[in-house]
Every structure is written in structure tokens, then in C-alpha cells.
Chains A and B, each alone.
Chain A
């Protein structure tokens, strides 16, 4: 009896499982076409030989990776030395993206906390206000930022008017301009996940901490931040990853000296001057780097969630 019932149950659940798999097919197909295929193409192209006017020749070679890491002289016949140019660009990009993430966190956390502690009916309005600029194309927003930061732009005019400075401050074409651009581009990606976390936070915990003699700062550090850490980690990933590959802000605001990975890769595929396998190889290296960082953060996140399990 019991055996038959169990067998019946398992037949039914098998049927459900197969139906479920069929229903998931469109999603799997979408993922394959839009995620796996491009990455696979990129991987393949990074091992092909470059054609001079863009495009590739179907011959296997490690030349693209070799070019990224090693300097063999102008004609390729000298002993290999480490090629620092691209490694430095990568390093600068990580540094820039990291700083932009930190800046977004420092501004985004208080913003998110502020929104989450408003009365329920006004929160939606605040969230809407935060996202309004993002209805405008990123290119246009970055160009307007360029206008704002110019030597004769409104920001400098304002600072001159207040008397804080006597001569225009050079912002455009500096690292700072890139920072500001990246920060501005991706701030909502920091605010929204943190907001979602803080909104779920049980504020009775803050009262309990205050009741147990913790001042505001200690409460924030020991109780609030550990409780909303999943939102902070998500926000940091969402700002860091696109900042790392960004090319609009570095191109338009940073000038030639503040080249970032995004721009380097973009160059390889633009016009006739490009080197597709090299661009693909740089993309693969970037992807690997991002994956390593994500796996590290995901582990941290999993640990935090295990600890904070309700």
C-alpha cells in the first residue's frame, strides 16, 4: 500500500518535473543565445589571428594574449619583457572603479537610509526622484556632466562667485572628473539595493542597541551595517562591475591620459584600425577578473546570510 502510494507520488512528480523543464526551455534558449553565445564567440575570437582592417583570419594563435602581457619589441624578435601598458590600464581601471564604488557607497548609503526611514507613502516618491535622471540616455548625461565640469562651466562659475577659489579649478580631463562621471552614472545601482535592505531592517534592533548603551555610531557599525550587508554587497557589485568596463565617462570626461579598459576594448572594434582578437582577449581577461571578484564577494555574501538567517 505504502509502496504503491509512494510510487504514484514519484510518477506524478516526474511528470511535473518534465513539464517544468519544457516550460523553462524559452529561458534556457534566451540565456544560451544572449549570454553563452557572445561569450563563446569572444573566447574563440581571442585565439584567432587579426586581419588588418578589422575582422579575423581563422588561424589559431595566442598572439592576442601574448601582446597583452609581453613586449617583444617593434618587430617581435626581441626577448620577451613584461608589457606594462595594458596591465597599468587594468590597474588604473580597477582603482578608478573601486574609488567610484567607494564614493557611491559613501553617498548612496546615507541616501538609501534616509529614503527607507521616510513615511511609507513618501518613499516611492524619493525612489522615483533618484531614478528620474536615468530616463535620459547615458551619453547625453555624460556630455552634460562635461559641460557642468568645464573650466568655464556652472560649477566653476559658482565656486568663483562664492569666493572659495580665485581661478577656475581644473576638473575636466582629470581622474576626479572620471570619478564624478562614474559615480553619477551608477549611483542608483548603489542606492536601490541598499534601500531595499534598509527597508526590511527591523528598527527595533536599533532601539535595543540604544537601550543597551550603544551610541548612534556604534549602533550603525555593530547592528545596522551587518544587518543590511547583503544590500551593500549587491550595490557595490552593481556599481563596480559596470564602472570597470565603462568607456563613456573616461572618454568624455577623462581625456586621453585617463584611458580605461572599456576604452581600450572599444578602440579595438572601432573603424578599421582595430584588432579584434586583442579586444576579445582583453575582454576575456576583464571577464576573468570580474568573475574572481564576484566569486569572492558571493562567498562573503553567503557567509553573511548564513549568519543573519531569520
Chain B
């Protein structure tokens, strides 16, 4: 019996379509009141997992618990969870108010009670004045908020959101992020959010589950996942990174010294399976590296190109031995002073603790 303070417990959940395995034994817990995100590229199984929780996909093997109750065999209409669909799925023949009232009526609310609650929900998403309109008369962002109000109205134990922002343009998407986050805090309902957008995940989530190829790659707080990715997939998928091949030279309790292909050495935290002689991968975030004028330093190289990306300038430096390192410099007066033209000899400084050893 899982601990009941978890909103959702997924135990060894497997999903197979014929001979294709979409999900390979996923086990994870979503805590009560948290904003939880399933993050991964398309086809990684995140939507399948969400649909299994909602009841739209059968669970091939394993169990799903909602506050301790086993739910994987219940039909969707008997699960006290609600979904905000990717393309909203608003009922086109009903008014906005009727859309929001639908779930309440199905749960047996009287018309008056449902209407009152729908009014409150539309107030919450700032659409009260549109209650008599049809969905087709609203903009995409407004439809999105109706979908949210409709799903929140029956006060679900968990709200599931399937890439709800992907159909909106950038500005609206950014505004909706903070709106969603504040609605989550206001209502205290557990949100389970599916997205392929790592920025969305990092800015909104309490915890993130990174998925790839039907497997759970890493689960943790946003900062944790960014600073301490466990493997190459997570390091590469979340933010940008330099992935370097290295060989473990020596391990001194918690610190490992690793030698790169060009003979340079770096120190990093030793992880479980690190022993001398092992081939490993290191991840170094571009913003943890700085450019300094050439000074006979062993970390010396040539500027290959500068790419201007607004807030930052990204510089590719070719080190000895053909190793390329990407460096991110903030687009500020101090930062711009350290940017050099392509072809310039420079040295790079890797911050202490910037290198992170990966499991694979």
C-alpha cells in the first residue's frame, strides 16, 4: 500500500501496443499539492503515461494509485481527475457556461449550484463576461482558459494538463505560464503537466520527471535536474551543454580526476560507478565557462565563431586535440569585454565544480 500523502503513485506501469513497448516499467510518485511535470521529446511516452492516469489508455502491466486507491481498472468517468486537452476539446454546440457546467452536472450538482460554480471558475480565469458565447467565438488563449475552468470546476483530486500551451503564441504562452502557476497555488490542486518544452518545465514545476524512449531518465527539482543531470540524455535535453569524453584517472573519496582526450584534466564529483580507468562523459554548462586573454595557460584555444542570441553571446572555442567547447557570455558591458573575434587565441576558464560526471 503506497503512502497516502502522494497524490499519484505509478507502480511498474508498462504500456505495450502489440510488439511495441511505449512505456517500460515506470515507477514514480506525484506529491499532493505539487506542480509536477512530465518532460520529454515527442514519442517519449509522457502523454501515454498521462492518458493512462486519466483512463484513456489501458495499463498493460502495473498499478496506478490515486491517494492510495487503485484506479487503473476504472473507466475514465469514474476517476476523480480532470484533463486539460492539448486542443482544448471544448464542446462546440454548448456555450462557455454550459461547457464549464458539464462536469458539475454529471457529478449530480443541481443546475443552480453548477451555474454558480461555473461563474466562480470563469471569474478565476477572467472570462466571466464571455459565459454566453460559443467556443468558436473565442480566441485560442481564451479557449485555453475555458478548458482550464471546465477541468477545475468539479474540483478534481489531480488536474492533468496535456501540452496545454503548445497551440499558443510565445507571448501568450509566457503569460499563461505564470497564470497556471498562480491558479495552482490558489486552488491547491495537484497539477500534472506534460510538455516537451524544457523552459516551460523549468519555470513552472516543483518537480520534473524527464522521460525518453519510454523510460524515466531522472526525477527531481528543476534546479537539481539542470545542475546535476544523471546522464547524457538529460544533460543534453535540459538546457545546452558541452559533452566531453574523459577517462577517470583517480578517485579520492568523493572527488574524481578525469583526463580529457587532449591530456587536460578536470576535477568533478565522483558518482557511484566511477573507478580509475573507466571511460565516462562529462557535462559542462556553457555559462560556467569564461573566456580570458591568452596567457600560456594549458586551457588554450582559438575562437571559431561567435553567435549572438540576444541575452548572451555564444562562442565556440577550439581547444588543442580538436575538442570544441561552447562558452556563453552575458550580453553586458563586462561580458562583451571578454568576447574576441574568430581566430583569436584565447584561454578558457572552467569554474570549479562546473564539470558533472554522467552515468552513461
Contact = CB atoms under 8 A, between A and B. Distances in A.
Does A pair with B?
yes
Interface of A: 202, 204-205, 207-215, 218, 222-223, 226-227, 304, 307-310
Contacts of B90: 208
Given A210-B55, A210-B76, A212-B154, A227 B92 contact: yes
A207 B102 contact: no
Interface stretch (B25-33, B77-85, B209-217, B285-293): B77-85
A227 to B, nearest CB: 7
B54 A211 contact: yes
30 contacts: A202-B89, A205-B89, A205-B91, A205-B92, A207-B56, A207-B76, A208-B83, A208-B89, A209-B102, A210-B75, A210-B76, A211-B54, A211-B82, A211-B103, A212-B106, A212-B150, A212-B154, A213-B77, A213-B103, A213-B106, A215-B77, A218-B106, A223-B91, A226-B93, A227-B93, A304-B93, A307-B92, A308-B93, A309-B92, A309-B134
B138 to A, nearest CB: 12
A213 B154 contact: yes
Contact of A208 (B78, B91, B107, B134): B91
Interface string B90-112: 11110000000011001100000
A211 B136 contact: no
Interface of B: 54-56, 75-78, 81-83, 85, 87, 89-93, 102-103, 106-107, 134, 136, 150-151, 154
B93 to A, nearest CB: 5
Contacts of B56: 207, 210
A212 B89 contact: no
B85 A204 contact: yes
Given A212-B150, A213-B107, A310-B136, A207 B89 contact: yes
Given A202-B89, A207-B89, A308-B93, A212 B102 contact: yes
A297 B68 CA distance: 53
B136 A309 contact: yes
Contacts of A226: 93
A205 to B, nearest CB: 5
B76 A211 contact: yes
Nearest to B147: A208
Given A212-B82, A212-B154, 17 more contacts: A204-B85, A205-B92, A207-B83, A207-B85, A207-B89, A208-B85, A208-B90, A210-B55, A210-B56, A211-B54, A211-B83, A212-B102, A213-B154, A214-B102, A218-B106, A223-B91, A310-B92
Interface centre among A209, A213, A223, A310 (most CB of B within 10 A): A213
A212 B83 CA distance: 8
Contact of A210 (B77, B107, B134, B154): B77
A86 to B, nearest CB: 42
A212 B89 CA distance: 12
A219 to B, nearest CB: 8
Contacts of A211: 54-55, 76-77, 81-83, 103, 151
Contact of B89 (A204, A213, A218): A204
A210 B93 CA distance: 17
Interface centre among A210, A222, A308 (most CB of B within 10 A): A210
A227 B82 CA distance: 22
A45 B305 CA distance: 91
Contacts of A227: 92-93
Contacts of A222: 102
Contact of B93 (A204, A213, A214, A307): A307
Contacts of B107: 213
Contacts of B151: 211-212
B88 to A, nearest CB: 8
Nearest to A226: B93
Contacts of A204: 85, 87, 89
